[in-house]
Amino acid sequence: MLKQIEGSHAVAEAVGLCRPQVISAYPITPQTHIVEDLGTMVKAGKIENCEFLLVESEFGALSACIGSSAAGARSYTATASQGMLFMMEAVYNASGMSLPIVMTVGNRAIGAPINIWNDWGDSMSARDAGWIQLFVEDNQQAVDVHIQAFKLAEELCLPVMVCMDGFILTHSYSQVDMPEQGQVDQFLPPFEPRQVLDPAAPLSMGAMVGPEAFTEVRFLAHHKQREALDLIPRHAAEFQSIMGRDSGGLIKEFDCAGAETVIVTMGSVIGTMKEVLAGMREEGHSIGALTIRSFRPFPSEALIEALKDAKRIIVFEKCLAVGMGGIVSMNVRMALQDFPLHVHSVIGGLGGRPITRKNLRRLFEKGLNDQLQETHFHDIDMEIVNRELEREKEQRQSGSIAENILHDVGVVAAAKTI
């Protein structure tokens, strides 16, 4: 059914259609609307046989899901930013214990300085935690991928994060085709755990493992994630056969076949990029794009297949490994290491910095003219950076960087308008 609906509300409805049995919730912007809506739905009896736990922290939220999932209940929670860090010990624990929890991440920057706006710092902090990480591009996908996430998690006994850009998706209204309950039931069978806490067949979960077996345990975790590389496209195809929509999958190409230059990115920014790239192609540039939808497991084979004939790859990512550079680009480079390709790394949109058609157009032109620095910071104001560096050189106690820069932003911006 077509609905004009907020992203968070759409996700809440989609999760409700998946018949969750335990939902735990702790508020953090921009995830709040999702759990608020789910709480209302459970309370109003719209989701049957479901317990909604209002916990004392994100650590408690995921820990409760660990308990409920181990006891055989379909379990869901949502978080973002600081919340992801606060629950991190449980994040690793959930995957180590093979618990198929589904968690939405309303992607938001990590402080300090505290910042509520969108980037992928939170999901990236957990990229090696053993969870599957699926990134969505719009709210239709957010709905569809949540439904696929439960199936994937439960088939593999692995937890899945559905990563959606905070505010840009969570708080925006758009048209979404909401699946019917019958369609979801057809796609997603009831949860049948592989191991379950049950007095009828007692077992001990979470025992200690020493050096004699730890490597093998970790190898199997890796192996199991790689199995998702087959399963994700299969589920997407099955989903399409029922819903009639192409949603999910490992990667998505946008006029990428035959293009000399390919922009590689994830999440919602592809929406703006598509418009810019269409214009550039009309002008005769050979440029296309590709989104990575499954960041973990990383779809190396699919990327090779799609990118091997390109000349230049520009990875655009909303995250930074401080002291190293781009995180997604590191992964892309590793996948393409056997091909003589130039992979540029562009860091943009940090902490919600607007990514516009105009500044993207400038960026892509620089890319086509081989003018990108390694690592390139999109839309950065070097004047402000240099001012702060000067100040620090002059004075040991030069004050808080964030505060100084905010002050300068005012001064510099004022100077520019004169």
Partner 1 sequence: MTQLPESQQKVKFYQTGTLTVGNRLLDEEHRNVQATMDRSNSLDSGHRACQGCGEALGARFAIDAAIRATGNQLIAANATGCLEVFTTPYPETAWSIPWIHSLFGNAAAVASGIAAAMKAKGREEVRVIAQGGDGGTTDIGFGCLSGTFDRNDDVLYICYNNQAYMNTGVQRSSATPGAARTATTMPVGAEPGNAFNTGKSVPLIAMAHNIPYVATASVHDLHDLEMKVTKAMGVHGARYIEVFVPCPLGWGSKPGDTVKIARMAVESGMYPLFEAADGELTGVTKIRRRIPVDDYLKQQRRFAHVFKPNNAHQLEQLRAIAAHNIKRFDLLARDGEEL
The conformation of residue 138, written as its DSSP 8-state character, comes to: S
When the beta carbons of 63 and 141 are compared against partner 1, the nearer one is 63
Among 14, 18, 66, 164, binds partner 1 (CB under 8 A): 66
State which of positions 210-229 bind partner 1 (CB under 8 A).
Answer: 210, 213
Residue 133, φ and ψ in degrees, nearest 5: -125, 115
CB 282 within 8 A of CB 84: no
Q: What are phi and psi of 337, to 5 degrees?
A: -60, -25
Position of tokens 């479901």?
Answer: 50
Binding status of residue 15 toward partner 1 by CB under 8 A = no
Q: Which is nearer to partner 1, 195 or 240 (CB)?
A: 195
Q: Which residues pair with 5 in a beta bridge?
A: 174
Beta bridge partners of 343: 313
411, burial (CB in 10 Å: exposed 0-12, middle 13-18, buried 19+)? exposed
Distance, in Å, from the CA atom of 352 to the CA atom of 59, rounded to the nearest integer, reads 26
Q: Please tell me the distance from the alpha carbon of residue 253 to that of residue 9, in angstroms, as a whole number.
A: 28
Q: Interface mask (CB under 8 A) for partner 1, residues 73-112, using x and -?
A: x-x-------------xx--x---x---------------
Residue from the set 2, 207, 322, 414 that interacts with partner 1 by CB under 8 A: 207
Inter-residue contact 74 to 88 (CB < 8 Å) = no
- Regarding 203 and contact with partner 1 (CB under 8 A), the answer is yes
- The one-letter amino acid code at 290 reads L
Q: Give me the helix-helix angle, 211-243 and 139-156, nearest 10°.
A: 130
Q: How far is the CB of 206 from partner 1 (least distance, A)?
A: 4
325 lies in the binding site for partner 1 (CB under 8 A): no
* Segment lying near partner 1 (by CB under 8 A), choices 65-73, 142-150, 227-235, 325-333: 65-73
Q: Nearer to partner 1 by C-beta: 54 or 401?
A: 54
| Among the listed residues 12, 70, 176, 256, the single contact to partner 1 using CB under 8 A | 70
Q: Cβ 359 to partner 1, closest distance in Å?
A: 43
Which residues form the interface with partner 1 (CB under 8 A)? 21-22, 24, 49-51, 53-57, 59-60, 63-73, 75, 89-90, 93, 97, 197-199, 201-210, 213
